[in-house]
Amino acid sequence: MFDPQAPRQLGAEFTTAIFHRIGVDRYSIGESTLGPVYLGWSARGVSAVRLAGSAEAEAMFTRWYEERMGRRIVRAIETDAIARAAQAKLRDPSADDVPLDLEAATPFERAVLANVAQIPAGYARPYELLARELDESCAAESVAAVLAHNAVPLLVPCHRVIPEDRCCSAEYVFGAPAQQQLLATEGLDPAAVERVIQRGYRYIESDGWFCLPTCGDIASRLDEPGYVGLRSLAEARARGLRACESCRPVAA
């Protein structure tokens, strides 16, 4: 029999709606390839991912969040469907994508992040190519600046974007060693890519195609039969090669 005096069990989604109504976001700690991370979210989606640490680091995270997003954030007692999906994605990047709350981002920042989200695991693309795909007049430095302040790294894989002259960058939001670790976990060989770049090659020819050195494991195959280093796009064109459809070495 229904007892109107009995306490009611309220679901996690109801709690999310209440927090959204009062303008407060929540965060929890999840596991990722890089270790524990703070995961911030709202009713719209995930709004922040940052490396977790000490109590002081946690306080710094909440201050950063409130300054960056313009909203309060408190530690969650329970998680909802958004947070659980994000935690699954952080543990396994091949899991389904999760909704993101990019309300604090500008239209340009959203465009950059949307482009980056299309780069599959096992590949990386230079800032310059992303910039040209967004706008012929866009500077690579503008793309790099957006990604250096990406609020949702790992979920939007900005570690898959690199400078043209090296494989990993100190500009990556978690630092070059973390970027190297992530790329290696996904199947790239950062050391092999660096060797190719240092030899002055921008592309690698294979079976009538030309690829970026960050196309799967191709960098480690250079000098094997059928793999040839190329110094320029003009050289690739002169040899009648087709652009790889996976790594997209030419701006679309």
Full-model pTM: 0.90
pLDDT score recorded for residue 204 = 97
pLDDT score recorded for residue 1 = 40
On whether residue 97 sits in a domain, the answer given is no
Please list the alpha-helical segments (H only) found in the chain: 12-21, 55-69, 81-91, 107-116, 127-134, 140-148, 176-185, 190-198, 233-238
* Whether residues 74 and 170 fall in one domain: no
* Whether residues 136 and 227 fall in one domain: yes
Q: Are 216 and 121 in contact (CB under 8 A)?
A: no
DSSP assignment letter at 77: S
pLDDT score recorded for residue 98 = 96
Structure tokens at 121: 């695991």
On whether residue 213 sits in a domain, the answer given is yes
Nearest residue to 93 via CA among 24, 154, 44? 154
* Whether residues 43 and 155 fall in one domain: no
pLDDT tens digit sequence for 55-94: 999 999 999 999 999 999 999 998 899 999 999 999 998 9
Q: What is the distance between the alpha carbons of residues 69 and 25, in angstroms, rounded to a whole number?
A: 10
**For the chain, how many structural domains are there in total?**
2
Q: Cα-Cα-Cα-Cα dihedral of 117, 185, 161, 177, to 10°?
A: 130
On whether residue 195 sits in a domain, the answer given is yes
Q: Which stretches of the chain score pLDDT less than 70?
A: 1-11, 136, 252
Q: Which residues of 165-175 are buried (b: 16+ CB within 10 A; e: fewer)?
A: eebbbebbbbe
The pairing of strands 125-126 and 24-32 is unpaired
Mean pLDDT computed over every residue of the chain: 92
CATH of the domain at 123: 1.10.10.10
* Cβ-proximal residues to 112 (8 Å cutoff; 6+ apart), any chain: 130, 134, 143, 146, 147
pLDDT score recorded for residue 230 = 97
Nearest residue to 115 via CA among 97, 102, 129? 129
Angle subtended at Cα 73 by Cα 93 and Cα 23, rounded to the nearest 5 degrees: 110
| Residue range(s) defining the domain that contains residue 70 | 12-91
Q: Are 125 and 161 in contact (CB under 8 A)?
A: yes
pLDDT tens digit sequence for 132-158: 988 867 889 999 999 999 999 999 999
CATH of the domain at 61: 3.30.160.70
* Whether residues 120 and 75 fall in one domain: no
